[in-house]
Structure 1
Amino acid sequence: MYLHGTSQINSDGRLEIGGCDTAELAAKFGTPLYVFDEALIRRRCKEFVEAFRATGMRYQVAYASKAFCVMAMCRIAEEEGMSLDVVSDGELYTALRAGFPPERIHFHGNNKTLEELEMAIDAKIGCVVVDNFTELYMLNETAKEKGVKVKILFRVTPGVEAHTHEFISTGQTDTKFGFDIGNGSAFRAIREAKELEHVEILGVHSHIGSQIFEVDGFRLAADRVAEFAQNVRLELDVTFSVINLGGGFGIRYTEEDSPLPLAKYVQAITDSIKSNFTKHDYPLPEIWIEPGRSIVGDAGTTLYTIGSSKDIPGVRKYVAVDGGMTDNPRPALYDAKYEAFLANRANDPNEETVSIAGKCCETGDMLIRDLELPKTAPGDILAVACTGAYNYSMASNYNRLRRPAVVFVHDGEADLVVRRETFEDVAGKDVIPERMQKQPVAKS
């Protein structure tokens, strides 16, 4: 059993997070339930900020809100001195409604709509990360109509393949994201943008993937971005003031994962930028990064109530919970691995190997295979660790299941930050056409 943050086993043999008994949380708020350790989230934010301060370089640490975007999380990011990375009008709306300073918001995405660009410009956000030529010209035209000039970064692909799952590796040449450095499209984008009157080029953005456990990929990306910046300065007389090296810093999901201390990533990135730009006698740019998973991933725990079981002799024993791929699609998408234990009987010895099945009508709705647990009974509470990133964000209403509530726990208090959906939330937007309305039965 791996405990992190404020997690501990109390005198009743139950898991506590943030001073709150998880069995009591399950009883009060229902299950499935996302529980976030607020102190651990804030600690991760501080680790990044303090690591950059120690380097003496100019920086922005932008929380990648796609990992977990609710208003309370935006408020924490603001309070901890971070910027914010959004990738849709919904995330932008959430941030603005939470009161996040728009000048510290960066807008990403490979297919931003005209409405999204207008919303971003009207909100006066700090930066748009341009992903393609279509967007570049649409943004310039929209800014012209509004009589403003928009600050931009160009997303570039440096040709670096991080050691990660193929679906979340984004820095290689064959990807839907960004302008490729190797084939010249990135250079052409800078050249064409230089002639546009309503965009201001800050620099470039590079993101090489997710769940990365080494620094070599970041170093190589910094090398290639620096070389590109020097070529652009010499041939186009454009000097970058910002270099954004994205995120992707890995976390521990299981004992097989060995993430580096966050400061190690920061040190490697800043050292690479310093050495590369200094050797070209290039003014040191401001460094931006975008951690998401590494801020909230291990701060989240999902609580489930155990229901039915099915024992197939010589094959496996299935134990089913009241959630599944609707609240955590990552095992189905990425074959993601998790650790779990009984939150209400944390000190009981393990007695059997089971596989945790979700309740969705899909054979593939499996959360964890071959998990060692005590003998379970209906009503036991299963705690699945490290579910803070992309679980709530990717949650769905498949099978018309209601999305879970979210609570932040801190110093013995549990604050509801997202209410559990109701049946009205699930079906309330349905419309039955007039021609299908039931007609009153005529009285004889």
Structure 2
Amino acid sequence: MAETTRKAVAAPSPLAPEWLSVPEDLNELLPALWAHDAARTAGGELALGGLTATEIKAQFGSPVFVLSEADFRARARAFKTAFDAAFADICGGVDVYYAGKSFLCTAIARWVREEGLRLDTASGGELAVAERAGTPGELIGLHGNNKSDAEIRRALDLGAGRIIVDSLDELDRVAAIAAARGTDTPGEDPGMESPRAKVMLRLTPGVHAHTHEFIATAHEDQKFGLSMAPGTASAAFADEEPGSAPSMAEEAVAAAAGHDSIELLGVHCHIGSQIFEPEGFEAAAVRLLEFVAAMRALYGVALPELDLGGGYGIAYVPGDTPRPPAEIATALAGVVRETCARLRISAPRISIEPGRAIVGSTTFTLYEVGTIKDVVVDVPAPGQGGQATGETSVRRYISVDGGMSDNARPVLYDADYSVILANRTSQAPAQLVRVVGKHCESGDIVVRDAYLPGDVRAGDLLAVPGTGAYCWALSSNYNYLARPGVLAVRDGAARWIVRGETEDDLLSRDMGV
């Protein structure tokens, strides 16, 4: 049987961050960090869906993203079921959109549709994946702050269920392209009335999410959305509204309502990503519902749909506390129900975008250990920017066969991850480590701080959980490393849903050969 417990015998390293404690059991899989079908085998190996780390390495190599299909489907269903139940008496259920930008391929697009979800895209390439997977157009949304005319046309050609408009300029372009479709498409009757573009307006509610600055998207000083702040409308529009200081959002509603080629579905907001606290979502919901009521009162414009965004957090390290879908749904439903009653309006149809919360924890990345190096480091004094204490400690650097090319989030966002020894268990004392990649770059960090057994050696396998979202999607060929493939595991069997690249793939675009 595998050894399953090891009491901590080492004191915390003075180099460890305050949030990181020495685990009582270095071999334990903390459920919050892993897919539900991840487990240790009797022999001590990490296994997913019954397939062990050693088997995965032998058959498919490393590094490799290993995804649980069953866990993905279960998480998608959990959001759909929970939100439908919570909002059944309010608006008859909820439309749940999977964020294609987090990780998308044709298999994922099919699973999303089969589990009753819709699909958000943010580029022509993501639209192409959705089309190749057979996603019905009415289940597709197109996001983006700088959509090209070609992307807008493609969305209209697919019959996209909604285009989320991000600026007044873009609204005019969508309207013009939609109006021209009956006259500039070969083979169509010039007199034929073109279908209207279905549009939602992305608003910036000014609600600050407690997250990294670059993934908090509802404050004013950033590139997304139409401001709801008074006085942000253009001078021309403000002159038409004497005695008021209208917002850019109000101007967009009035403009959209004035375009014959636009069907204004409603409004949308997204306050950020990797958020645990509920207060931001609830405050945004109240602001947008008040806006919906105001638009009917001021301009007689009905907004029958409201997207409350998402960006719900997942667990990356011990201590992260993601909220279950049912808890999120019940809290939001209560706020929507109460606010609509106070405003005396009928609730709009609600949609949400859970983001990484569906795919993030379904996946781990499997690496092979290469070189190991102990470095003597000055111990900093407590607090930000503390001076050295005059003491030293050892930081162990463990290099693996991937790095920032398969996970750019640590270098982009200072993101923290966890790591375990995957091919065996160990009773060795805990050692503070930094897992790094093989790139010629000092910032090439995979896991900044973690405790691993002190006997980790070259050839061992390490697994980093929580890499389903924004890892493969942000991957690169830095140093001409081929990007890893994505392996879907279910019931002891595995198959590529995205194959890994080869050197021939990399050289195929080099036109000098």
TM over 0.5, yes or no? Answer: yes
Q: What is the CA-CA distance between 1:279 and the residue it aligns to?
A: 2.1
Q: Does 1:169 align with 2:248?
A: no
SS state of the match for residue 473, structure 2?
helix
Q: What is the CA-CA distance between 1:267 and the residue it aligns to?
A: 1.5
1:111 equivalent in structure 2: 146
In structure 2, distance between residues paired with 1:289 and 1:218: 11
2:478 equivalent in structure 1: 398
Residue among 398, 421, 426 paired with 1:342? 421
On the 8 A contact 2:417/2:448 being kept in 1, the answer is: no
2:346 equivalent in structure 1: 283
In structure 2, distance between residues paired with 1:372 and 1:162: 30
2:73 equivalent in structure 1: 42
Residue among 26, 43, 46 paired with 1:15? 46
On the 8 A contact 2:85/2:93 being kept in 1, the answer is: no
In structure 1, distance between residues paired with 2:263 and 2:337: 24
- AA aligned opposite 1:141: A
2:365 equivalent in structure 1: 302
- AA aligned opposite 1:398: Y
**1:312-327 to 2 correspondence within 5 Å?**
312-313=375-376, 314-327=393-406
- AA aligned opposite 2:410: P
2:98 equivalent in structure 1: 63
Gaps of 5+ in 2: 1-27, 182-193, 233-246, 377-392
Residue among 436, 446, 459 paired with 1:367? 446
Q: Does 1:194 align with 2:257?
A: yes
**1:132-281 to 2 correspondence within 5 Å?**
132-146=167-181, 147-182=194-229, 183=232, 184-281=247-344
On the 8 A contact 2:396/2:432 being kept in 1, the answer is: yes
2:409 equivalent in structure 1: 330
Deviates more, 1:341-350 or 1:56-65: 341-350
**TM value normalised by structure 1:** 0.95
Q: What is the CA-CA distance between 1:423 and the residue it aligns to?
A: 0.8
Q: What is the CA-CA distance between 1:195 and the residue it aligns to?
A: 0.8
- AA aligned opposite 1:259: P
In structure 2, distance between residues paired with 1:134 and 1:369: 42
In structure 1, distance between residues paired with 2:467 and 2:367: 12
2:160 equivalent in structure 1: 125
Q: What is the CA-CA distance between 1:215 and the residue it aligns to?
A: 1.1
**Cα displacement string for residues 347-386 of structure 1 (whole angstroms, at most 9, x for unaligned residues):** 5444422211111110010112332222122111100011
Give the superposed CA RMSD: 1.3
In structure 2, distance between residues paired with 1:59 and 1:362: 45
Q: What is the CA-CA distance between 1:101 and the residue it aligns to?
A: 1.4
- AA aligned opposite 1:289: I
SS state of the match for residue 246, structure 1?
strand
In structure 2, distance between residues paired with 1:145 and 1:24: 56
Q: What is the CA-CA distance between 1:431 and the residue it aligns to?
A: 1.4
1:100 equivalent in structure 2: 135
1:441 equivalent in structure 2: none
- AA aligned opposite 1:372: Y
SS state of the match for residue 392, structure 1?
coil
Q: Does 1:426 align with 2:506?
A: yes
On the 8 A contact 1:327/1:403 being kept in 2, the answer is: yes
> Once the two structures are aligned, what percentage of the paired residues are identical?
43
Q: What is the CA-CA distance between 1:291 and the residue it aligns to?
A: 1.3
Q: What is the CA-CA distance between 1:129 and the residue it aligns to?
A: 0.4
Gaps of 5+ in 1: 438-444
In structure 2, distance between residues paired with 1:32 and 1:85: 28
In structure 2, distance between residues paired with 1:370 and 1:137: 49
SS state of the match for residue 128, structure 1?
strand
Deviates more, 1:83-92 or 1:421-430: 421-430
**TM value normalised by structure 2:** 0.83
- AA aligned opposite 1:170: T
In structure 2, distance between residues paired with 1:119 and 1:154: 19
In structure 2, distance between residues paired with 1:312 and 1:255: 25
SS state of the match for residue 442, structure 2?
coil
Q: Does 1:79 align with 2:110?
A: no
**Cα displacement string for residues 192-217 of structure 1 (whole angstroms, at most 9, x for unaligned residues):** 11111101011000000111112111
Deviates more, 1:184-193 or 1:45-54: 45-54
Q: Does 1:89 align with 2:168?
A: no
In structure 2, distance between residues paired with 1:177 and 1:401: 33
Q: What is the CA-CA distance between 1:39 and the residue it aligns to?
A: 1.4
On the 8 A contact 1:15/1:346 being kept in 2, the answer is: no
In structure 2, distance between residues paired with 1:50 and 1:419: 32
Deviates more, 1:63-72 or 1:272-281: 272-281
SS state of the match for residue 286, structure 2?
helix
**Cα displacement string for residues 402-433 of structure 1 (whole angstroms, at most 9, x for unaligned residues):** 0001111111111211111011211211212x
- AA aligned opposite 1:367: V
On the 8 A contact 2:83/2:325 being kept in 1, the answer is: no
In structure 2, distance between residues paired with 1:330 and 1:167: 11
Q: What is the CA-CA distance between 1:234 and the residue it aligns to?
A: 0.5
In structure 2, distance between residues paired with 1:189 and 1:331: 37
In structure 2, distance between residues paired with 1:240 and 1:422: 50
In structure 1, distance between residues paired with 2:449 and 2:283: 38
In structure 2, distance between residues paired with 1:58 and 1:370: 42
- How many pairs are equivalent? 433
**Cα displacement string for residues 294-339 of structure 1 (whole angstroms, at most 9, x for unaligned residues):** 0011111000011112222444221100000000000101111111
On the 8 A contact 1:218/1:268 being kept in 2, the answer is: no
SS state of the match for residue 424, structure 2?
coil
- AA aligned opposite 1:40: D
* Greater Rg over alpha carbons, structure: 2
On the 8 A contact 1:131/1:179 being kept in 2, the answer is: yes
- AA aligned opposite 1:411: D
In structure 2, distance between residues paired with 1:108 and 1:76: 21
SS state of the match for residue 327, structure 2?
helix
